[in-house]
């Protein structure tokens, strides 16, 4: 159920809400009702109150116990029993029903006017008889005292079918080319017909002649001289014995007193759509006027709007339940729209629970919960330093962010950015100074914000001046003034979206940009819009080159787009790898900072750290791997691991360093021995000394 209050009048749409598909089994329906809250909370006033395609006409029987509706596709009629709030029967036709009339107090006698010139009579068991009329019919009415069925359509004749005799009577001949609507007054049986020419003709059944004519088109033309559509008569309805409501094809509703040939009030829907139905609310002197886009309810005497119902799909027909605030609307949708307006009357007896339901809804009207809450995204939470509150009662998850108390948000913002007011103050001072500088002599130069965009716009403006084409200049338009002044609107060229769209949207290359900048610098105080009278050969060559370059750009932008897409994906991949490596390094540093703990078994004596290290070096490989947690490392973000270990004893690096320094000192002090020569020479021969 959906509640709206146009003009402070509560309107309850009882047909709003999700519907279950017909092909679902009963077991799946019950499962969906348990899971989905929206389906469980919907109000299904009448079961299966819909059509396969759309509904065309809705009526209530005289006794108020049955609701009948026609629609397509296939053409059919559905009868609903209000006592059981369910479908009683359903019948299909050979062709679509234009309209129908209920001949009895209940559903037992019906007559249907079909679009193929056939008239079908139905009894309680089904189709009773079928006959055909000479011309296509548009409307029909049944006169109960005389048992005459009047049918009007695409001719000047008003066909009379007497159901007591079962034969056609002499038709009435009108002066109009065709007749759209007809209506019978239940008080004095006056028959009125609305013609294509915008006239209303009144026929007396006793004399079988015209007793009066109203020229509604002439009145409409006097009120609205610039109307496009001709005001043909499209709707008729009596209000009592003397008042008549007339709807026209140009969107006016005229209220007449039968004793006068001029309307006492004219209501215009102001949308030039034909009026499809006119009804009267007798208790409050209200008028219902329906076109395909809106149902307007207004006061009869002064035309003041009471309320209105806008259409989600086109309206076809209006049906009000007498002496209640319930109404039905046939429309271009499978669901037949049901509305309840408590201020216009109580609910019908068979739907009395609607009164208590609406009273409960009005009593439970509370203050909006979100007035004292602020919606923040996850990135804003991290900037405020409140991301550790995720999962607590202080944050309420909603869509892509969280709701938090506005007082907590203001405190956190003041702590996170204590100099925000100073920055705001400096910004306002700068804006005031810049505003004062605008009154000085302006030099044609690029703005401080979005220079490249301004350069493109200047280039397009110059081209439009040369080609004599009117182009909108955003630099002059005050609506886009902040785009070139406010740094918040600066285009981020490093963003992924810009890099993907730039190959498609870029139309100004580097050479053109340099040329335009030079022209701006050289002109100084001269306006940019100065038009060149002639063109030399160099300019023509540059224009030809620019045309060739633009054609090449059109062929290569897709390649540039793919290239940028690959580069962006590679950058994202590299960022993920760097982040994983950084996390791994941080984890290793934390492990190194932790103190090393040694375990002593029962009976061991503590002889210093060297003894513990020696014992660990002598331990087997499996025990050393268990003790050394840092020996296993993660590689990347995939989950690969690397294990490093050593089987040799650890060297004493301090002793090796000491020996190295000693050797270097000896080399500096010891004299070389290559200058000493021996006086004796020893000779060796065959291993013997001589």
Look at residue 528 in the predicted model and tell me its pLDDT.
Answer: 39
For residue range 134-185, what is the model confidence (pLDDT) as tens digits? 999 999 999 988 899 999 999 999 999 999 898 899 999 998 899 999 999 9
Q: Where in the chain is the domain with CATH 2.130.10.10?
A: 151-275
Dihedral sign, Cα of residue 69, residue 71, residue 75, residue 78: negative
User: In the structure encoding, which two tokens stand for residue 548, read together?
Assistant: 């060739």
Q: What is the mean pLDDT of the chain?
A: 77
| Correct CATH for 151-275 of 3.40.50.1360, 1.10.730.10, 2.120.10.30, 2.130.10.10 | 2.130.10.10
User: Cβ of 237: how many Cβ atoms within 10 Å?
Assistant: 19
Stretch (H or E) spanning 554:
helix 537-593
For residue range 103-117, what is the model confidence (pLDDT) as tens digits? 999 999 999 999 999
- How would DSSP label each residue in 414-483? HHH-TTHHHHHHHHHHHHHHHHHHTTS-------SS-HHHHHHHHHHHHHHHHTT-----TTT-GGGGGG
Look at residue 181 in the predicted model and tell me its pLDDT.
Answer: 92
Of the candidates 281, 248, 279, 242, the one whose C-alpha atom is nearest the C-alpha of residue 264 is 242
Look at residue 208 in the predicted model and tell me its pLDDT.
Answer: 87
The rounded distance, in Å, linking the Cα atoms of 172 and 170 is 7
For residue range 388-422, what is the model confidence (pLDDT) as tens digits? 888 787 787 877 788 888 888 888 887 777 777 77
Token pair 């049986």 in the structure block, residue: 189
Token pair 């009117």 in the structure block, residue: 470
For residue range 295-328, what is the model confidence (pLDDT) as tens digits? 999 998 888 889 988 888 899 999 999 889 899 9
Tell me the CA end-to-end span of the chain in Å, nearest whole number. 130
Select the more confidently predicted residue: 683 or 512: 512
Token pair 């009963």 in the structure block, residue: 26
pLDDT at 486 over 60: yes
Helix residue spans in 291-334 (DSSP H): none
Residues facing residue 320 across a β-bridge: 327
pLDDT at 614 over 60: no
State yes or no: cis peptide before 549, omega within 30 of 0: no
Look at residue 513 in the predicted model and tell me its pLDDT.
Answer: 57
- How would DSSP label each residue in 196-253? TTSEEEEEETTTTEEEEEEEHHHHHHHH-TT-SS---EEEEEEETTTEEEEEETTSEE
Look at residue 634 in the predicted model and tell me its pLDDT.
Answer: 56
Return phi, psi of residue 28, to 5°. -70, -30
Task: Name the pLDDT band for 201 (thresholds 50, 70, 90).
Answer: very high
State yes or no: cis peptide before 73, omega within 30 of 0: yes
Look at residue 158 in the predicted model and tell me its pLDDT.
Answer: 92
Look at residue 606 in the predicted model and tell me its pLDDT.
Answer: 56
Task: Name the pLDDT band for 33 (thresholds 50, 70, 90).
Answer: low
Of the candidates 225, 231, 142, the one whose C-alpha atom is nearest the C-alpha of residue 191 is 142
Decide: 182 and 139 in contact? Cβ < 8 Å.
yes
User: In the structure encoding, which two tokens stand for residue 38, read together?
Assistant: 């929206």
Average pLDDT over residues 484-512: 68
């Amino acid at each position: 159920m959906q509640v709206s209050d146009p003009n402070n009048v509560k309107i309850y749409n009882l047909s709003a809400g999700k519907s279950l598909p017909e092909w679902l089994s009963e077991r799946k329906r019950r499962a969906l009702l348990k899971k989905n809250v929206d389906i469980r909370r919907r109000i299904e006033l009448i079961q299966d109150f819909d059509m396969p395609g759309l509904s065309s006409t809705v009526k209530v029987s005289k006794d108020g116990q049955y609701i009948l509706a026609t629609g397509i596709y296939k053409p059919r009629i559905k009868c609903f029993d209000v006592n059981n709030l369910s479908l009683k029967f359903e019948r299909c036709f050979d062709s679509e029903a234009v309209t129908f009339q209920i001949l009895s107090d209940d559903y037992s006698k019906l007559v249907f006017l079909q679009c193929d010139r056939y008239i079908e009579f139905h009894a309680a068991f089904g189709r009773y008889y079928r006959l055909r009329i000479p011309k296509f019919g548009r409307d029909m009415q049944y006169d109960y005292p005389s048992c005459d069925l009047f049918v009007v359509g695409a001719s000047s004749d008003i066909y009379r079918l007497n159901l007591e005799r079962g034969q056609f009577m002499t038709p009435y001949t009108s002066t109009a080319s065709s007749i759209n609507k007809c209506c019978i007054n239940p008080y004095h049986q006056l028959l009125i017909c609305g013609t294509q020419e915008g006239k209303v003709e009144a026929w007396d059944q006793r004399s079988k002649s015209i007793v009066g004519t109203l020229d509604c088109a002439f009145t409409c033309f006097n009120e609205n001289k610039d109307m496009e559509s001709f005001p043909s008569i499209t709707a008729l309805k009596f209000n009592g014995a003397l008042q008549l409501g007339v709807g026209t094809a140009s969107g006016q509703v005229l209220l007449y007193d039968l004793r006068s040939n001029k309307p006492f009030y004219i209501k215009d829907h102001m949308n030039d759509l034909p009026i499809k139905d006119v009804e009267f609310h007798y208790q409050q002197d209200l008028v219902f006027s329906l076109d395909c886009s809106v149902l307007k309810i207004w006061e009869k005497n002064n035309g003041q709007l009471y309320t209105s119902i806008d259409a989600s799909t086109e309206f076809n027909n209006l049906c009000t339940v007498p002496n209640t605030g319930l109404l039905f609307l046939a429309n271009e949708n499978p669901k037949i729209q049901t509305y309840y307006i408590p201020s216009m009357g109580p609910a019908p007896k068979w739907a009395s629970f609607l009164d208590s339901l609406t009273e409960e809804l009005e009593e439970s009207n509370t203050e909006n919960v979100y007035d004292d809450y602020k919606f923040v995204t996850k990135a804003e939470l991290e900037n405020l330093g409140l991301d550790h509150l995720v999962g607590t009662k202080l944050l309420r998850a909603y869509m892509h962010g969280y709701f938090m108390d506005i007082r907590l948000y203001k405190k956190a913002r003041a702590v996170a950015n204590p100099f925000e007011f100073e920055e705001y103050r400096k910004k306002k001072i700068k804006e005031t100074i810049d505003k004062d500088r605008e009154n000085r002599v302006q030099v044609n130069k690029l703005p401080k914000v979005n220079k490249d965009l301004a350069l493109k716009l200047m280039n397009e403006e110059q081209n439009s001046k040369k080609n004599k084409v009117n182009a909108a200049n955003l630099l002059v338009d005050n609506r886009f003034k902040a785009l070139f002044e406010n740094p918040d609107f600066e285009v981020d060229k490093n963003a992924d979206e810009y890099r993907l769209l730039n190959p498609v949207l870029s139309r100004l290359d580097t050479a053109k940009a340099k040329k335009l900048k030079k022209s701006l610098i050289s002109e100084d105080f001269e306006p940019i819009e100065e038009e060149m009278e002639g063109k030399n050969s160099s300019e023509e060559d540059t224009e030809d080159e620019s045309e060739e370059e633009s054609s090449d750009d059109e062929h290569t932008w897709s390649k540039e787009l793919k290239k940028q897409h690959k580069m962006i994906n590679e950058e994202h991949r590299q960022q993920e790898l760097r982040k994983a490596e950084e996390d791994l390094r941080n984890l290793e540093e934390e492990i190194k900072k932790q103190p090393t703990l040694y375990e002593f078994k029962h009976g061991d004596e503590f002889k210093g750290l060297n003894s513990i290290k020696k014992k660990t070096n002598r331990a087997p490989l499996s025990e050393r791997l268990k003790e050394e947690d840092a020996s296993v490392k993660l590689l990347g973000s995939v989950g690969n691991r690397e294990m490093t270990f050593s089987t040799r004893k650890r060297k004493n690096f301090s002793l090796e360093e000491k020996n190295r320094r000693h050797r270097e000192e000896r080399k500096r002090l010891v004299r070389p021995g290559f200058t000493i020569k021996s006086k004796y020479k020893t000779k060796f021969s065959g291993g013997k000394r001589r």
